[in-house]
Structure 1
Amino acid sequence: MELTTVWFIIIAFLWTSYFFLEGFDFGVGMLLPVLGRSDVERRVVINTIGPVWDANEVWFIVAGAAMFAAFPEWYATLFSGFYLPLLAILLALIIRGVAFEYRGKRDDARWRSRWDKAIFWGSLVPAFLWGVAFANIVRGVPLDADHEYAGTLTDLFTPYALLGGLTTMVLFVLHGAVFLALKTSGDIRARARFVASVAAVAAIAAGGSFLLITQLDHGKPVTWLTAGGAAIGLAVAAVANRRGREGWAFIGTGAAIVLAVATLFTSLFPDVMPSTLDAAGTLTTGNASSTPYTLTIMTWVAAVFTPIVMIYQGWTYWVFRKRIGTSHIPARAPRKSERAR
């Protein structure tokens, strides 16, 4: 197998891991105002991802770095042509990260409310725009013979791309709701299961439509299996959630995300960014890659460090595997004015 193909698979794996892990982070953030009816409940919701959300974002950084090193032409064209949507994603992620850290710095309801809104929008915007971006990557964008983006911002928001954004958004809401049902107890768990049952219907409708269109327009024979597997994963998640089997429901949503991303990348290969203007402008694993020497060095580095990162992150999830509820949230210390009374 050629190293260009190996690194296409590695990059697909990195993006798949990012969407699987950060997907429920985004879902939890979007569900914060829905499931957190008091400050204590919102603290429970946030604490379910508190120990892991920043580590989950590392997969995005690594995926982007791998694209830059292995396929610099792909990286340059993608990040220049999709500049404004990717900038919006980056700003949303920064604001969300700041919100997690600053929310509890002041014992003021209005202060916390503002940061809660930042967490909500900082989760919703990337959840939607990532779907828009990857739908465009698979469908193709106007690239000239020099591999330069020749379209406008509005060209990125076609009906197909908007459906892709809606698919990732509702799929991450479902993934997050199932994760919350798996990680919490009491009323939050019950409400999360109800939200998951509603989100499952939306995810099946939007995701099924998007994958069917993708398969008919861009798919290959093998992607019927991955697309069908994603649909089965959603069905398993819906049934398991109704029966209170949160573990199986989470496996179902996780499988749906993994197989949906596999469908997109398999449909794309060997291209990395098709051109809708001129076939000469299409970027492939061959004309967008680095030198064989660079790919060889990268392969050895990835072989050594990727297992270490996966083991460490798996250990983190094991340590923080238990459920939490409102009884685990300590009361806030009274303010100075209250202590003086």
Structure 2
Amino acid sequence: MNYDWDWCEAYGDHPLERWLKELPQQVERVWREQTHGDIHKWREALARLPDIPVSKVDFRSAKVQAGEMADCDDPTRSQIVDALQQLHPWRKGPYRICGIDVDTEWRSDLKWDRLVEQISPLKNRTVLDVGCGNGYHLWRIHGEGAMRVIGIDPTQLFNMQFEAFKHFLGNGYPVHLFPLGIEDLPAELKAFDTVFSMGVFYHRQSPFSHLTELMGALRKEGELVLETLVIEGGDREVLVPENRYAKMRNVWFIPTVETLKGWMKRSGFSDIRLVDISTTTTDEQRSTEWMRFESLQDYLDPRNPDLTVEGYPAPRRAILVAKKGRG
């Protein structure tokens, strides 16, 4: 992977400097020592993407866009589709590339619409998105005027998908995705104005450790945007799945909103607000030609869609916003 590190030089007096000094070595180590078995196939797919000057980019529409139909001919579009399909499955999106609609499993724009008017304006902010997938929301954050947007996600396929979209844009955007987890950030970095953690919390074996890591990444009075699965109920109630939840192995804790607020308060967050709670529907998460595996409809009880196939409450997602305290 060819990363442009020149932008790091602008952060000599910024709290990010402590991480940026070691970041290139961290990223290089991942690609050298921990590469996925399909890495060569994915790299070949990236290499087959044609170089096309695009006439339009759009980071504020539901389908994040690079290029228009008129930017290339039909054979070239077929070449692009073939290359992008080698990066299947596409989970987060949607994208539009030179007239090609990449109809991803998740309509991630719907989640964005539920939160964007409820959080602090992102203009001129330095933003971290933890577990960001292929970076769809990184581009939406950039579209709101953020100064620098950094995403981290250890799934190498998602990093490749990000690079595929970025291929049509070039390096002129302050948007980055690295194959790392939040544990790879220095403790108490205190560098970001806004930190997003969306669809990550329930995958962490220690919810308090994750909240501590998120707190440490934020500057004083910075803002956390936390989106996660929740159940209905009162304070101190939490679902701990016996084995799988909606066919997922790695779901550890699903609290009620009140329980989650208590955990956040105990972790040092203040001004905690619930800004949205929604039941996930098959309009928002579904199989498509760009994600041909099982999806939400296969995770629900066919006799009762209010339950998962395991008999647990069907997925409900809450978005909470909170501030890092002054201390």
TM-score (norm 1): 0.25
Max radius of gyration: which structure?
1
TM-score (norm 2): 0.26
More strand by share: 2
More helix by share: 1
